Amino acid sequence: MNNSVFLHIARFISLVFLQVVLFNHINFLGYINPYIYIMFIALFPVKNNRFIIIFLSFFIGLTIDVFSDTGGIHAAACVFIAYVRPLILKFSFGMIYDHQTIKFNTVEFGEKLTYLTILTLLHHFMLFFLEMFSVSQIILVLQKTLFSSIFTILLILIVTIIFSKKTK
């Protein structure tokens, strides 16, 4: 138990640090940045209390906001996905979720990809919509959502593959 708390604190700090120092400055083709810190929310253990994950999501979003002067858009998007996460889990994993036995290291690749894609798309849409704050710019919002999501999903997959423990 204690060990996993330390693991999550380390994950929190290192993801925020990487996001702020490295991934906020990539600006591929002018505006495409990956938001890899949502890995923290995506890979948070399923069994834990929902209360904790919603609160931690708000906190990680707000930390990113403080560093990038964006008001509260990251925090809002993170709280949103943390709240709808159980629905997405149920949709992508089906039966396993009902038994509360998901381990992100061992689930099938296809199901994991669905889960990450939905989560990332929702987060990015929310994020860019709040950033623009106008319905007339919806095309630009969708465009940014699409490109940044592809980038984010690819990076999260690469990171999870590199850091996955071979438990089979």
Partner 1 sequence: MQQIINFIIRNKNFLLSLLLFSISMVFTIQTHSYHKSRFINSANFLTGGIYNSINNFTGYLSLKSQNQVLAEENSRLKMLLFNSESKKDSTYLDTVSYNGTYKFTLANVIRNTYSGTNNVLLLNRGKNDGLKQDLGVISSKGIVGIIDGTSKHYATVISVLNTINKISAQLKKTNHFGTLYWDAKSPNFIQLTDIPKIAPIVKGDTIITSGRSSIFPKGIPIGIINDFKLDAAENYYEINIKLFNDMTNLEHVYTIENIDTAEIDSLLNKNTDE
Task: Enumerate binding residues for partner 1 (CB under 8 A).
Answer: 20-21, 24, 27, 30-33, 50-51, 54-55, 58, 61-62, 65-73, 75-76, 79-80, 82-83, 130-133, 137, 140
Among 34, 41, 48, 39, residue whose Cα is nearest residue 4: 48
The residue among 13 and 113 lying less far from partner 1, judged by its C-beta, is: 13
Both tokens of residue 18? 């990487």
CA-angle at 86, arms to 144 and 2, nearest 5°: 105
The residue among 5 and 139 lying less far from partner 1, judged by its C-beta, is: 139
Q: Which amino acid is at 4?
A: S
Q: How far is the CB of 32 from partner 1 (least distance, A)?
A: 8
Q: How far is the CB of 38 from partner 1 (least distance, A)?
A: 15
The residue among 3 and 49 lying less far from partner 1, judged by its C-beta, is: 49
Cα distance between residue 62 and residue 58, in whole Å: 6
Tell me the CA distances in angstroms from 53 to 12, 41, 50, 78, 105, one per residue in order: 12, 7, 5, 10, 19
The residue among 95 and 135 lying less far from partner 1, judged by its C-beta, is: 135
Q: How far is the CB of 166 from partner 1 (least distance, A)?
A: 35
Q: How far is the CB of 88 from partner 1 (least distance, A)?
A: 15
